[in-house]
Chains A and B, each alone.
Chain A
């Protein structure tokens, strides 16, 4: 029997109230990497059901589906896991040249929430996390691991990381949350 391997399944780091920080593995979602000519982005948005953002870092969310632009011609699309086949079919009918790759099993999501979320992330991310606008995302490095960082709310961040790096990122977050809890 095949079993899905999820390195962080059900894991949480609950800081005490003083630590103002809670970290948990996110629900699994369907993820797609989309490469398409920016001029054709509107038709791709129509196929996805959510318009694609037009600025790097921009994110559009509607009906549980999100589209985040990572590069000039690159988007990452996420949706509830059950929508996966429907999205693949919708893009198969799209006439524009494009590449849609299902990367749902490549990555895992980590939610970092709380007042100290930016402080925790700052320990391993080299740019100014606090200056990041709400509702934007970008690809960056967390320590040495490449991640996609999304700021969902002022105090809620989502990390999307390749599953092989997930334990590494989780370990750092665990250590950092202990330091914050102890007030170091």
Chain B
């Protein structure tokens, strides 16, 4: 089971508490009536679907109930970091830093774990 860090609860929680909510950072058009049908289709349905790093929304459904954003690798399924909804997309350096500190934390907890 995956452990996902909720940025609001500031705790690692099991995957079953969360629901996936699609790609993050898709802004609703400011003036929807001005859009052509193709632009509206793109907004509604066209997603990046990358192989690798993906910015996505999750909801801590059975916890604090909040939506937040996560950076996950779609190949390895590893979460690089999570951050609060409304904050800008993190840069490469920030993601590398966050995933390195998360890796150090999990290594430490494995070391401290009881047999």
The judgment on whether A and B are partners is yes
Chain A residues packing against B (C-beta within 8 Å)? 56-57, 70-72, 74, 126-127, 138-141, 146
Question: Is there an interface contact between B14 and A138, defined as CB atoms closer than 8 Å?
Answer: no
Would A141 and B9 count as touching, CB distance under 8 A?
A: no
9 A-B pairs with CB atoms under 8 Å apart are A70-B63, A72-B8, A74-B64, A126-B15, A127-B13, A127-B14, A140-B17, A141-B17, A141-B62
Decide if B94 is an interface residue (CB 8 Å cutoff): no
Chain B residues near A139 (CB-CB < 8 A): 62-65
Q: List residues of chain B with CB within 8 A of the CB of A74.
A: 64-65
Taking A126-B16, A140-B17 as contacts, is the C-beta distance between A72 and B1 under 8 angstroms? Answer: no
Chain A nearest CB, measured from B62 CB (Å): 5
CB distance from A81 to the nearest CB of B (A): 27
Quote the shortest CB–CB distance from A72 to chain B (angstroms): 6
A74 to B64, CA, bound (A): 8
Q: How far is the CB of A121 from chain B (nearest CB, A)?
A: 13
| Cα–Cα distance between A146 and B63 once the two chains are bound (Å) | 9
Q: Are A140 and B13 in contact (CB under 8 A)?
A: yes
Q: Which residue of B lies closest to A130 (CB)?
A: B114
- Having A71-B65, A127-B3, A140-B62, one finds 18 other A-B pairs with CB under 8 Å, namely A56-B9, A57-B11, A70-B65, A71-B63, A71-B64, A71-B66, A72-B8, A72-B66, A74-B64, A126-B14, A127-B12, A127-B14, A138-B9, A139-B62, A139-B64, A140-B63, A141-B16, A146-B62
